[in-house]
C-alpha cells in the first residue's frame, strides 16, 4: 500500500496563528506543515499538504489521492458541517481517512456538533490543538502498516 498521505485543510485555515489564537492557538499552517513533514520522515510517509478556501479544490485533491495515496488526514474546517460533496468524494477513497479538528467542536456551537465527514472517517480527533495533526498522521501510518501486514 502507498505510503503517500494527503493532509488536506479547508477554508480559512490559511489564517491559522494569525487570528483567534484563543481558539486555534499561535501556530501557523506553515508550522503545522513543517511538524507534519518532520514526523512523516520518522514514520516513512511522503506527504502532500494542501489548504484551500474552495470546495472543488478539496474534492479534486481527494480524487487525486484515490489514484496514488495510502491515506488522508483532513481538517475540512467549515465544510465538515456543510459538505455532502466532500463526504461523497471521501466515500470513493479506499484507504484510511482521519478527520482532524484543532478545537473541540463538541464544546462549541451546536452547528459544529454534526459532521458529514465523520460518516466516512475511520477516526476523529478534536480539541488537541495542532498536535492533533501529529496524532492523526501516526494513526494513518499504523492503519497503512496494518493493511500491508
- Annotated catalytic residues are 24, 101
105 near ligand CA2, judged by CB under 6 A? yes
19 near ligand CA2, judged by CB under 6 A? yes
20 near ligand CA2, judged by CB under 6 A? yes
12 near ligand CA2, judged by CB under 6 A? yes
d(CA 99, CA 22): 22
75 annotated as a binding-site residue:
yes
Nearest 10 degrees: Cα torsion 130, 134, 135, 136: 90
For 20, other C-beta atoms within 10 Å of its C-beta total: 12
Which of 32, 86, 102, 143 is in the footprint of ligand CA2 by CB under 6 A? 102
Length of the chain counted residue by residue: 149
3 annotated as a binding-site residue:
no
Which of 58, 77, 140, 143 is in the footprint of ligand CA2 by CB under 6 A? 77
User: Toward ligand CA2, which CB reaches closer, 3 or 27?
Assistant: 27
3-state secondary structure of 41: helix
Contact 70, 4 (CB under 8 A): yes
Cβ of residue 73: shortest distance to ligand CA2, in angstroms?
A: 12
For 126, other C-beta atoms within 10 Å of its C-beta total: 20
Binding residues for ligand CA2, rule: CB under 6 A, are 12-13, 15-16, 19-20, 24, 75, 77-78, 80, 101-103, 105, 112
Amino acid at each position: 500500500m502507498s505510503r503517500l498521505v494527503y493532509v488536506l485543510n479547508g477554508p480559512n485555515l490559511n489564517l491559522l496563528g494569525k487570528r483567534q489564537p484563543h481558539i486555534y492557538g499561535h501556530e501557523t499552517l506553515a508550522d503545522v506543515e513543517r511538524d507534519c513533514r518532520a514526523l512523516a520522515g520518522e514514520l516513512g510517509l511522503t506527504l502532500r499538504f494542501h489548504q484551500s478556501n474552495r470546495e472543488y479544490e478539496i474534492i479534486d485533491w481527494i480524487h487525486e489521492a484515490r489514484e496514488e495515496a495510502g491515506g488522508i488526514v483532513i481538517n475540512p474546517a467549515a465544510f465538515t458541517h456543510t459538505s455532502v460533496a466532500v463526504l461523497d468524494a471521501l466515500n470513493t477513497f479506499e484507504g484510511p481517512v482521519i478527520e482532524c479538528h484543532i478545537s473541540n467542536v463538541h464544546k462549541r456551537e451546536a452547528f459544529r456538533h454534526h459532521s458529514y465527514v465523520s460518516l466516512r472517517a475511520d477516526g476523529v480527533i478534536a480539541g488537541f490543538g495542532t498536535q492533533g495533526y501529529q496524532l492523526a498522521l501516526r494513526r494513518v501510518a499504523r492503519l497503512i502498516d496494518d493493511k500491508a501486514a
